[in-house]
Amino acid sequence: MESFSTVIRTASHEQHVEAETSTFMSDLLGGRLGVDAYARYTEQLWFVYEALESGAEQLASDAVAGPFIKPELFRLAALEHDLAHLRGPDWRAGLSALPATVAYADRVRECAEQWPAGYIAHHYTRYLGDLSGGQIIRDKAERTWGFAKKGDGVRFYVFEGIDNPAAFKRGYRELLDAVRVDDLEKQRIVAECQGAFALNSGVFRGLGAEFSLSA
Ligand code: HEM
């Protein structure tokens, strides 16, 4: 039988390609958009991680989601650092969520509060992605907008507490494989992961509409 980590990866593969090749991501990573688009995207991430991480402390003692809560993953402080660099010291005053971002953060918060197993789907979708493709995004951002390597503006993508991302991801997949729920609940987690990818695509669509090259 396939491991759960393989099932969840396979089940989200198609949507991963969709996210990667979305108009906004392609334009952003293709160097066709200005740093303001990157900053706007980083702002959206702030809302998502605020929802993910404000619920984390409560979940640390949960039997199902608890093993996934690892402080070395937390991104909110790094995002705030990046936003101060991108938007200036008053970054909080100008911060606003797209409707799609509100929907995404609301769903994450709902899972954090009411459904720890569903929270795992959101945790996986974000953090494993940040540890993987995030490194490609960082590299492109550094080159396109001239941020210092692993410095201000891209600290979100730098996991200071994780020396070996490949080993960390292996350990993470072991946690997924050992998740303490029955098969039906695993199916629900997979469906929630697909929902998480769809929520990300929604944010990209919103950003794409705001930073449209053909308009
Ligand atoms: C242009 C944008 C993106 C690029 C270039 C990219 C690239 C990659 C690459 C190369 C991997 C494979 C890493 C490995 O095999 O260990 C990966 C994995 C992953 N990505 Fe992305 N990605 C992007 C966007 C996204 C987005 C938007 C999400 C969801 C929010 C996401 C979620 C994931 C997840 C969850 C994994 C881990 C899959 C697994 O091994 O279980 N990625 N990404």
Which residues touch 98 (CB under 8 Å, ≥6 apart)? 44, 203, 206, 207, 210
- Is 184 domain-assigned? yes
Q: For residues 200 and 65, what is the distance between their CA atoms, to the nearest angstrom?
A: 21
Rounded to two decimals, the pTM is 0.96
Domain coverage including residue 195: 4-210
Q: Whose CA is nearest to atom 22 of ligand 1?
A: 133
- Is 137 domain-assigned? yes
Looking from the CA of residue 9, the nearest atom of ligand 1 is 41
- Is 59 domain-assigned? yes
- Is 215 domain-assigned? no
Assign residue 184 the CATH number of its domain: 1.20.910.10
Distances, alpha carbon 27 to alpha carbons 172, 194, 215, in Å: 31, 24, 14
Which residues touch 72 (CB under 8 Å, ≥6 apart)? 159, 160, 161, 162
Where does ligand 1 bind, in terms of residues with CB under 6 Å? 9, 16, 19-20, 25, 29, 124-126, 128-129, 132-133, 136-137, 169, 197, 200
Sign, CA torsion 131/133/139/143: negative
How many domains is the chain partitioned into structurally? Answer: 1
- Is 21 domain-assigned? yes
pLDDT tens digit at each of 215 positions of the chain: 899 999 999 999 999 999 999 999 999 999 999 999 999 999 999 999 999 999 899 999 999 999 999 999 999 999 999 999 999 999 999 999 999 999 999 999 999 999 999 999 999 999 999 999 999 999 999 999 999 999 999 999 999 999 999 999 999 999 999 999 999 999 999 999 999 999 999 999 999 999 998 75
